Amino acid sequence: MKRITIIAFAIMILMGLTGVSQADGRWEDEEITISPRVLVLDYSGTRITIHTKIQASEVVGSSVYIEVNSAGRVDPCSVFADDCGNLVAKFEVEQVKVFVQPPSAEIILHGDLVSGGIYSATGSIEVK
């Protein structure tokens, strides 16, 4: 019994450390990493990359999209797993620029879970 309690406690701690929580079939990630960190509107780059903390195998790749400033939806040009198996999505810069203005933009990544729930993760990007 003591061993089960210790294992359960360790799992709860690890879930807290990763910043990922589940409630009612919804996974919410407290943070995503957005690259570049600063979006310069005159930027001539082609893509914005979002790294998450959820395993790519847990998310239906074709369901992934971002919501930018609660104003617009942008579908990814590619979705894949990084070297750790976590979900990564790339988006065309020009499609994102339509919805942003200085000083910053909120980006929410959405996707359906293979298990039937919903995944979302929030981050922000500085805009110049």
Find, among 33, 45, 37, 39, the residue nearest to 89 by Cα.
33
Of the chain, the percentage scoring pLDDT greater than 70 comes to 77
In whole angstroms, give the CA distance from residue 18 to residue 84.
14
Report the pLDDT value the prediction gives residue 43, as an integer from 0 to 100. 73
Mean per-residue pLDDT of the chain:
83
Confidence of residue 44 (pLDDT cuts 50, 70, 90): confident
Pick the CATH number of 21-127 from 3.40.50.170, 2.120.10.30, 1.20.1740.10, 2.60.40.10: 2.60.40.10
8 A C-beta contact, residue 33 and residue 125: no
Query: Poorest-confidence range of 23-27, 32-36, 116-120?
Result: 23-27
pLDDT tens column, 56-83: 999 999 999 999 999 999 999 999 999 9
Report the predicted TM-score, pTM, of the whole model to 2 decimal places.
0.77
How far apart CA 74 and CA 96 sit, in angstroms, is 7
Per-residue pLDDT tens over the stretch 72-119: 999 999 999 999 999 999 999 999 999 999 999 999 999 999 999 999
